[in-house]
Amino acid sequence: MDVLKDRIKHIVVLMLENRSLDQVLGCLYDEVKNPPPHTIPKAATAFYDGVLKNGAIKKECTNTYTYYKGTKSKTVPLTLIPCSEIEQGAPAYDPAEPYLDVNQQLYGSEAGPAQGQTASMSGFVQNFYDKKCYTTSEEATVESIMKCYGPDQLPVLYSLARHYAVSDRWFSSVPTQTNSNRAFLLCGTSLGRTDNMGFEDTLKGKDSFATQTIFNVLDANEPPVSWAVFYKDKYPISEALAKQHPDVCALAKQLGLPCPSPTCYTQLTFPKIPNRAGSFLRIETDFKNLVKTGDLPEFSFLEPGSWGGDIEYKGYELKRVAGDDYHPPGPLVRGERFLADVYQTLASNPDVWNTTLLVVTFDEHGGTYDHVPPPWGAADPDGRRNKEYGHDFAFDRFGVRVPALLISPWIEKGTVFRSETGVPYDHTSIIATVLKWKGINPGTTVKPLLGKRVLAAPLFDNVLTLDAARTDTLDLPINMLDHLPPCMKAGHGGRWDGSPNGADGTWISLNKLSGKPVVQALGRTELHLSGPYDFIDPLHPLGPTKGTIDLHVWQLSGDNRCQLRFSIMGDLAKEYFGTPHFDTGAVTATYAAQGDGSIVYRVAGATVTQRPFKSRSGPIAWYAGVEFDFSLPGGKQYHLCFEDMDA
């Protein structure tokens, strides 16, 4: 039985961002103590080429760099990121990604290799120090590029890799950054380009690839193969980014462009994709609804839920943005939660799940460390060269190794897969496998359908080996507290860097509320605020949440005493109080009016400061309402803003 052709009706592809295999899945198996249960092709001794051997990180996983103008030198071993740094994430900055930087990371020099030269994989720290650490020489910051994540720190990615199949020989298509690698996934070529263009070019739609895509091929088939691109945010300036960062929006308007952007990344970057009803849909609504009704297209391509990283303009870093795509810098909790949501959405409908193959990979390593040298022998797709954005690269070697997961009930648990040919997997293997799945001829070397790289790419249809679909789906942790690494749960207080009031804490906003103002009564005698909350500032590493809050203060009297009741239900209650429903009940509090019009309440060791809401120009544009600073026993702090978005 050909399981792919006979049992799979839906292929869903999710490409995440900028992590190497070593950094986010290097500790999946131990080469000696905990080898994988199954390998494809079968090997006499099963192994997984990660970073663990005999219970420790391999000694050869090191980099040496020189600093202080070459007067000092230090060798840095690969280590696990400590629990105390999880919310900040590693590395400390967004590493350099362009072609010349990757040359330095792999070979120690931007000049690049001699033909056939094996990469030493020794220049990651030096490149990070040279290109990204110019604002600090602190060794801990520089050496954060040599931090990796373990299973307890990325429970979603590790659980899926162990429960289904992962490749330890899947390489990005080009030794460079995002756009070229995504072009190879969708077009089989980057038209001779390696480097991204600038932020201004992206805004203007110039950083695009005007060539045929897999979607055009599926459309031209007889009968046509149904497909859709699903996205969450506009690109490069989403609705949320436009609201939070007016300076970025002002730049777009200065260039005569709309803000937020009118379309998503895939549509902007690949303009020849057919644009008709049903081509570009939303993840949060359309994707979930189509899975629920059983009407998912045959081929689905998912953009990351929200793009992360930093935004640069003319070499200057404008903003750092936390996303759902695993992109450094910053925490990976949001990416984990998004991946879990995609998986659980598909698994929620057994009829869809039992006929689906989910492919999850990363576009490139994003400057993060990996110990396996990328191989030579890659097929040049079309002979194209772009000397301005391609450095006259011959496209004869692959990029750095990245994670690639195949997830389906037709895959044996604990599988590690590698190519059975002399050519390793890269992103064009997705195109090649989809074409075979639908019986579409990829063409010839004289006239390839989507480039010669696709013709050479190994297929992964052989990884679906079971005779019957499995029923053991994963119950992944997507709630806020459940999702945190075990080492963090006991002491987690919602702390994060960059809260709008200048202090550590969680910033919560209640908005819209079916068009009704949240502030039901506001005065010196009574204050009652209530309603569902559906938003935490997008920069918060734990992402958006759902629940309800009710805050009621009454019977303010001349003796500076009042009655106060505070209740909260949902994810936030679970995070802060360890229970799905926290309620103080009616308690007696003291209060004191301040000269600025604020009121300070004190009750049971907690302090609540209430102040009239004031409009803010940044970092977030707020509206009318009332806001509070809470200081709870144990040092937990957060900022709560009840607002009327319609005011």
Question: What local confidence, expressed as pLDDT, does residue 612 receive?
Answer: 57
Q: Residue 580 — φ and ψ, nearest 5°? A: -70, -20
Question: What local confidence, expressed as pLDDT, does residue 621 receive?
Answer: 29
Q: Residue 467: pLDDT above 60?
A: yes
Q: Residue 642: pLDDT above 90?
A: no
- Residue 608 — very low, low, confident or very high, per pLDDT cuts 50/70/90? confident
Tell me the per-residue pLDDT of 405-458, one tens digit each, with 9 for 90 and over: 999 999 999 999 999 999 999 999 999 999 999 999 988 877 888 999 999 999
Among 302, 110, 125, 268, smallest CA distance to 197 is for 268
Q: Poorest-confidence range of 226-230, 337-341, 613-617?
A: 613-617
Distance set, CA 326 to CA 15, 309, 334, 490, 635 (Å): 10, 9, 8, 24, 29
CATH topology of domain 3-482: Alkaline Phosphatase, subunit A (3.40.720)
257 burial (CB, 10 Å; 0-12 / 13-18 / 19+) is: middle
**Cα-Cα-Cα-Cα dihedral sign, residues 205, 97, 405, 157:** negative
Tell me the per-residue pLDDT of 164-189, one tens digit each, with 9 for 90 and over: 999 999 999 999 999 999 999 999 99
Q: Residue 4: pLDDT above 50?
A: yes
Q: Residue 566: pLDDT above 90?
A: no
Residue tagged 């059975």 (tokens): 420
Question: What local confidence, expressed as pLDDT, does residue 17 receive?
Answer: 95
Q: What number is the average pLDDT over the span 100-123?
A: 96
Q: Residue 248: pLDDT above 80?
A: no
Question: What local confidence, expressed as pLDDT, does residue 258 receive?
Answer: 83
Q: Identity (one letter) of the amino acid at 166?
A: V
Highest average pLDDT, of 332-341, 417-426, 618-627, comes from 417-426
Tell me the per-residue pLDDT of 469-480, one tens digit each, with 9 for 90 and over: 999 988 775 443
Question: What local confidence, expressed as pLDDT, does residue 126 receive?
Answer: 95
Top-confidence residue, 317 or 622: 317
Question: What local confidence, expressed as pLDDT, does residue 410 receive?
Answer: 98
Report the SS3 class of residue 30: strand
Tell me the per-residue pLDDT of 45-65, one tens digit each, with 9 for 90 and over: 888 999 999 999 999 999 999
Distance set, CA 449 to CA 195, 210, 444, 613 (Å): 24, 15, 8, 60
Share of the chain above pLDDT 90, in %: 51
Q: Residue 333: pLDDT above 90?
A: no
Question: What local confidence, expressed as pLDDT, does residue 474 receive?
Answer: 86
Top-confidence residue, 496 or 211: 211
Q: What number is the average pLDDT over the span 9-21?
A: 97
Q: Residue 147: pLDDT above 90?
A: yes
**Which tokens is 543 given?**
């992402």
Q: Residue 387: pLDDT above 80?
A: yes
The answer to whether the bond into 236 is cis (omega within 30° of 0) is yes
Top-confidence residue, 243 or 467: 467
- The mean pLDDT value of the chain amounts to 81
| Ramachandran bin of 635, using left for φ above 0, alpha for ψ from -120 to 50, beta for the remaining angles | left
Q: What number is the average pLDDT over the span 161-165?
A: 96
Top-confidence residue, 246 or 298: 298
Q: What number is the average pLDDT over the span 181-210?
A: 89
Q: What is the largest CA-CA distance in the chain?
A: 91
**Which tokens is 138 given?**
């602190």
Question: What local confidence, expressed as pLDDT, does residue 522 receive?
Answer: 34
In sequence order, the β-bridge partners of residue 65 are: 74
Opening angle at CA 524, ends 520 and 530, nearest 5: 25
- Residue 542 — very low, low, confident or very high, per pLDDT cuts 50/70/90? very low
Q: What number is the average pLDDT over the span 236-260?
A: 77
Tell me the per-residue pLDDT of 583-606, one tens digit each, with 9 for 90 and over: 878 888 887 766 665 677 787 777
Classify each residue of 47-61 as buried b or exposed e, where b means 16 or more C-beta atoms within 10 Å of its C-beta.
Answer: bbbbbbbeeebbeeb
Torsion of CA 377, 380, 383, 384, to 10 degrees: -120
The full length of the chain comes to: 647
